[in-house]
Amino acid sequence: MNRISWDQYFMAQSHLLALRSTCTRLTVGATIVRDKRIIAGGYNGSIAGGDHCIDKGCYVIDNHCVRTIHAEMNALLQCAKFGVPTDGAEIYVTHFPCLQCCKAIIQAGIKTVYYAKDYKNHPYALELFEQAGVKVEKVELTEEVIDFRTIHH
Ligand SMILES: [Zn+2]
Ligand SMILES: [Zn+2]
């Protein structure tokens, strides 16, 4: 029996979270991990209790939907809300984070960023990651990992 690798396991979790996204523009999921344990997760969505883009449409300003909180921010804010340290943690995201999220990730003390899909990959973000000593690695999700129908005992 082949065991799923940690990288694939955490990346699969982020893809599962992405399915909860309420913004139709991009479905993103993020999982924060410490010592091989999931400490928080998030997806692209509105403020709790707020209107969802899937119900009311996106609120677009300058080609960005301003209604949603990005998956990475939601995961970090979950840690803030419940008092969970993020220093030295790792984050698994379905897409390369936007510049704002990259800065938040660095400032929260996250030391490694694993992403599955390239998404604009801002050169300034890469520069900031390098300066901060944050490791960035692409980990693609191999699809059979989340196809539970293929599991054999
Ligand atoms: Zn939206
Ligand atoms: Zn972002």
Active-site residue 130, yes or no? no
Q: What mean pLDDT is predicted for residues 86-92?
A: 98
Count of alpha carbons within 13 angstroms of residue 135, beta-carbon side: 11
- Which pLDDT value is given to residue 152? 53
Q: What is the mean pLDDT of residues 21-30?
A: 93
104 CA distance to ligand 2 centroid (A)? 9
Give dist(CA 66, CA 49) in Å, integer: 16
Q: Reply yes or no on whether the pLDDT at 118 is more than 90.
A: yes
CA of 73, nearest ligand number? 2
**113, pLDDT greater than 60:** yes
Q: Which of 72, 130, 140, 144 is catalytic?
A: 72
Residue 119 has pLDDT above 90, yes or no: yes
pLDDT at 145 over 80: no
In the predicted structure, residue 142 carries a pLDDT above the cut 50: yes
The model's pLDDT over 129-141, given as tens digits with 9 standing for 90+, comes to 999 999 999 999 9
How many angstroms is it from 54 CA to the middle of ligand 1?
A: 7
Give the C-alpha distances (Å, rounded to integers) separating 93 from 29, 51, 55, 96.
6, 24, 25, 7
**In sequence order, what are the beta bridge partners of 147?**
none
3-class DSSP string for 46-112: CCCCCCCHHHHCCCEECCEECCCECHHHHHHHHHHHHCCCCCCCEEEEEECCCHHHHHHHHHCCCCE
Residue 153 pLDDT > 80: no
Does residue 5 surpass a pLDDT of 50? yes
The β-bridge partners of 32 are 40, 91
Q: Which residue has the tokens 């030391």?
A: 111
Residue with tokens 């509105």: 46
The pLDDT of residue 91 is above 80? yes
pLDDT tier, 108 (very low <50, low <70, confident <90, very high otherwise): very high
Sign of torsion over alpha carbons 26, 137, 144, 120: positive
